[in-house]
């Protein structure tokens, strides 16, 4: 009988969001009159901006006319979008990229989940702790994680992000092949300074590692000395792949558009003494297993770079960041520690003494009908914290803050 | 230094469409006044139908309003679309499926390319010859094909489709674990009768194999006794996964929507004496590495099942099939053998005596400014044939036929 991929059988069930949903449902049943407000989910709530809506309507009309209809587009994305990305996201920050180093897709989760296919099956993977689970699970499926025991995957290299290191992971003690970094970070909302990120680039060059740099929350960076792209750092094009998304930048979580940068300078071992460019491998992967992002969605993404579109999406992000600021203040006023929230839509809040992260989750739910995400759900180093998100509406956030203040 | 996946380095360069583009470009340069007509590309040309265009506009407006905006959708697809699929594509043909056996995606190429991830790395793969290259290349990347020598992948089981077996592959002599079948077939345009397909289902049940059944061209089936779904056959839910797409059904090649059916009854070996349902593995794969198909695109797909939408897409398909019929007649009138074209948009035309498929390609290009696809490009058993597609406009197809008649 045909056998399944054993890697899938090693996956741990992800109880986190199932468990949260279960507890919230029970609370609602017991408290039918109470409005539950979620600060737990990392999803946008504000509608698509007018420039994007107009671009979609225009593109839909084109697709309904014989003279303008388009069939299959390039697997790598249309040149008009790749040029807008190269110009606005890179050239404007002093980074020169060729458009064929940019691959447009339907989402960063797809890109990040699929990218590990390009590496040898015995590659050693490093992840931060706490961590976005896709980095781990996609490698478990590929057989790179070893068995799971005592809360750890045996072959993974863990990089703890704690208050003691200011949530900046220390360089690994044993050399990994692939290193996943996410900044601005999900779940902690913290960022890496130019110096800290240069340290990772230098390490990767010295040790011959690849950095898989997830920058899905780049649009939230406000402070001037935080790099917006890893390619602002010296030598990064030789060692780093950068993942970006329109999901949080422009509210595209339901439209699905993202891109990944794979510089031509990034070359790895072919295992026989030669080198091979990762760009050509990703191109072949996408041409074989992907058929491009919808034309109408790529037109919507291009509209984000128009003068009108930029102003509109920046206003939306300012709104979310204002939510974050108000939430940070409210949590601080509860005499709890707060990290993140300045350059990111996520707030990493310390829990009160004597509680663990699930305990504080229960407390917020039962006492204030507020939903957060227990930090322990993102890995052992997340214990002692909860994640709050700033993606709610202005009204819901204001009400959440009133409830937090009433808890003091 | 980090090593790449050796499977990628074994891939053969796919020269076919590059070579065709090169030859066509050279012809155009030498013949600047001539209009080249392509019968080579498997892509639609008619615009989206009005019901789909209206649904897209409505959904775009929803996404621009705070009250109706949606963020992330279910990774498996919205229930409204999965229900429409279950009802119209299955229930209406006597097949009972639960909606959680249907997974909506951005394309059949993604689904087919990704699905092999669920199987053990040492699984033996069978493919027809000629073949759609994604079945082969996605397994080469995964290390299942063995080395390439003398025009064959050493570990693949080839199933020749020839005139001598009426393009119906014989059952394999050695048992494979995974068997890719595509009907209506790309590139030959041929179909399997109910009896022939039941033979494959029975074989798979007897031998414990999985059938990966690609039915992207189902909408073109006209003859009454050709099964539209593999699940019309007895026992198929225990052994078959079915891939379907809106690309050719409703001109969605640029909108990107497809689905795959993974019945709960389909269970494989866990390698330790137990069984595991493929449905749960695909669900986990999609939840980990995919974030769902765009809401607006799923609304467009649902509109294909409306009364208006069905009538409109059926008219488009009738138009393509009329092209196919006219092309078949024109090729027959050249005293060439013709297969396909009745239940499929593809015509598999024998080449004139004394020519090979590339030779006939050159002849059509130089003498009539027509582009076809040499059959040898789809595998060794494609030699002696060319593929013609019926996806051109009515005007271009009529002009192509005039030119074919002038060649006689």
Per-residue pLDDT tens for B358-380? 999 999 999 999 999 999 999 99
- My answer on whether B277 and B348 are in the same domain is no
Q: Which of B291, B313, B315, B395 is best to mutate for the A interface (most A CBs within 10 A)? A: B291
The position carrying tokens 């469409």 is: B17
- Within a domain: A194: yes
- My answer on whether B82 and B10 are in the same domain is no
Which one-letter DSSP state was computed for residue A398?
H
The mean pLDDT of B7-16, rounded to a whole number, is 86
- My answer on whether B190 and B255 are in the same domain is yes
B57 CB contacts (<8 Å, ≥6 apart)? A57, A60
Alpha helices in B275-388 (DSSP H): 278-289, 295-303, 307-332, 357-368
pLDDT of B16 higher than 90: no
Do the Cβ atoms of A148 and A12 come closer than 8 Å? Answer: yes
B47 inside 8 A of chain A by CB: yes
Which one-letter DSSP state was computed for residue B119?
B
Q: What are the distances in angstroms from CA A165 to CA A109, A159, A190, A230, B225?
A: 28, 11, 12, 21, 69
- My answer on whether A101 and A245 are in the same domain is yes
Q: Considering A275, A306, A337, which residue would you say is the last residue of a domain?
A: A306
- Put simply, the answer to whether B9 touches A276 (Cβ < 8 Å) is yes
Name the token pair of B147. 């080395």
- Within a domain: B1: no
Residue among A212, A48, A243 nearest A139 (CA)? A212
B72 inside 8 A of chain A by CB: yes
- My answer on whether B378 and B302 are in the same domain is no
The mean pLDDT of B59-72, rounded to a whole number, is 97
Residue among A379, A392, A390 nearest A331 (CA)? A390
Dist. CA B107–CA B277, nearest whole Å: 23
Dist. CA A176–CA A127, nearest whole Å: 10
- My answer on whether B174 and B220 are in the same domain is yes
Class of residue A30 by CB neighbours under 10 A (exposed 0-12, middle 13-18, buried 19+): exposed
In chain B the first and final C-alpha atoms are separated, in Å, by 61
pLDDT of B15 higher than 70: no
Dist. CA A75–CA A283, nearest whole Å: 8
The position carrying tokens 């003498």 is: B367
- My answer on whether B247 and B143 are in the same domain is yes
User: What CATH number does the domain containing B10 carry?
Assistant: 3.90.1150.10
CA-based nearest residue in chain A for residue B66: A47
Shortest Cα distance, chain A CAs vs residue B377, angstroms: 16
Name the token pair of B112. 């087919």
For B235, other C-beta atoms within 10 Å of its C-beta total 14
Name the token pair of A382. 């997340």
Alpha helices in A339-408 (DSSP H): 357-368, 394-407
- Within a domain: B65: yes
Dist. CA B200–CA B196, nearest whole Å: 7
User: Residue A211: beta bridge partners?
Assistant: A179, A240
- Within a domain: A372: yes
- My answer on whether B301 and B316 are in the same domain is no
Shortest Cα distance, chain A CAs vs residue B345, angstroms: 16
The Cα diameter of chain B in Å comes to 68
- Put simply, the answer to whether A43 touches B178 (Cβ < 8 Å) is no
Task: Give the full edge-to-edge strand order of the sheet including A240-245.
Answer: A102-105, A258-261, A240-245, A210-214, A178-182, A125-129, A157-160
- My answer on whether A66 and A192 are in the same domain is yes
User: What CATH number does the domain containing A269 carry?
Assistant: 3.40.640.10
The mean pLDDT of B27-53, rounded to a whole number, is 94
How high is the pLDDT of residue B19?
Answer: 86
The mean pLDDT of B136-148, rounded to a whole number, is 96
Say whether B259 sits in a helix, a strand or coil. Answer: strand
The number of domains in chain B is 2
- Within a domain: A74: yes
- My answer on whether A266 and A317 are in the same domain is no
CA-based nearest residue in chain B for residue A125: B2
CB pairs under 8 A between A and B: 256
Range of the domain at B232: 53-306
Q: Considering B306, B337, B352, which residue would you say is the last residue of a domain?
A: B306
The closest CB to that of B281, out of A8, A53, A254, belongs to A8
Q: Considering A239, A274, A306, which residue would you say is the last residue of a domain?
A: A306
- Within a domain: A4: no
Dist. CA B23–CA A253, nearest whole Å: 42
- My answer on whether B259 and B331 are in the same domain is no
pLDDT of B257 higher than 90: yes
Name the token pair of A206. 């010295």
How high is the pLDDT of residue B151?
Answer: 86
Mean pLDDT by 10 residues, chain A (408 residues): 95 82 94 93 93 98 97 96 98 98 98 98 97 95 94 95 95 97 97 97 98 98 96 98 97 98 97 96 96 98 98 98 97 96 97 96 97 94 96 95 92
- Within a domain: B197: yes
- Within a domain: B83: yes
ipTM: 0.96
Query: Chain A residues with CB inside 8 Å of B121's CB?
Result: 5, 143
- My answer on whether B132 and B253 are in the same domain is yes
């Amino acid at each position: 009988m045909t056998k399944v991929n054993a890697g899938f059988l090693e996956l741990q069930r992800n109880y986190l969001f199932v468990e949260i949903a279960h507890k919230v449902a029970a609370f609602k049943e017991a408290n039918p009159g109470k409005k539950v407000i979620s600060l737990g989910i990392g999803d946008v709530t504000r509608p698509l901006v007018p420039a994007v809506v107009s671009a979609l309507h225009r593109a839909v009309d084109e697709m309904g006319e014989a003279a303008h209809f388009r069939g299959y587009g390039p697997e790598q994305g249309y040149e008009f979008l790749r040029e807008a990305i190269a110009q606005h996201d890179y050239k404007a920050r002093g980074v020169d990229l060729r458009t064929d180093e940019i691959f447009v897709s339907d989402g960063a989760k797809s890109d990040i989940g699929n990218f590990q296919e390009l590496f040898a099956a015995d590659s050693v993977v490093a992840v931060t702790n706490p961590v976005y689970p896709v980095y781990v699970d996609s490698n478990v499926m590929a057989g790179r994680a070893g068995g799971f025991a005592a809360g750890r995957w045996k072959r993974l290299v863990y990089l703890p992000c704690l208050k003691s290191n200011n949530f900046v992971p220390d360089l690994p003690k044993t050399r990994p092949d692939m290193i996943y970094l996410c900044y601005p970070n999900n779940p902690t909302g913290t960022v890496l300074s130019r110096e800290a990120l240069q340290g990772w680039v230098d390490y990767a060059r010295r040790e011959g590692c690849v950095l898989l740099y997830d920058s899905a929350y780049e649009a939230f960076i406000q402070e001037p000395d935080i790099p917006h792209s890893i390619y602002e750092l010296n030598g990064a094009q030789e060692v780093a792949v950068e993942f970006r998304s329109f999901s949080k930048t422009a509210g595209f979580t339901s439209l699905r558009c993202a891109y990944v940068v794979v510089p031509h300078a990034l070359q790895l071992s072919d295992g026989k003494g030669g080198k091979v460019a990762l760009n050509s491998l990703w191109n072949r992967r996408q041409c074989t297993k992907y058929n491009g992002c919808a034309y109408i969605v790529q037109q919507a993404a291009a509209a984000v770079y128009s003068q009108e579109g930029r102003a509109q999406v920046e206003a939306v992000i300012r709104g979310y960041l204002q939510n974050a600021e108000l939430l940070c203040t409210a949590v601080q006023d509860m005499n709890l520690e707060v990290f993140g929230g300045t350059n990111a839509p996520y707030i990493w809040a310390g829990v009160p003494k004597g509680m663990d992260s699930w305990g504080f989750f229960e407390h917020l739910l039962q006492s204030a009908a507020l939903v957060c995400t227990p930090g322990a759900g993102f890995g052992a180093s997340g214990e002692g914290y909860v994640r709050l998100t700033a993606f709610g509406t202005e009204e819901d956030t204001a009400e959440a803050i009133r409830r937090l203040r009433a808890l003091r």
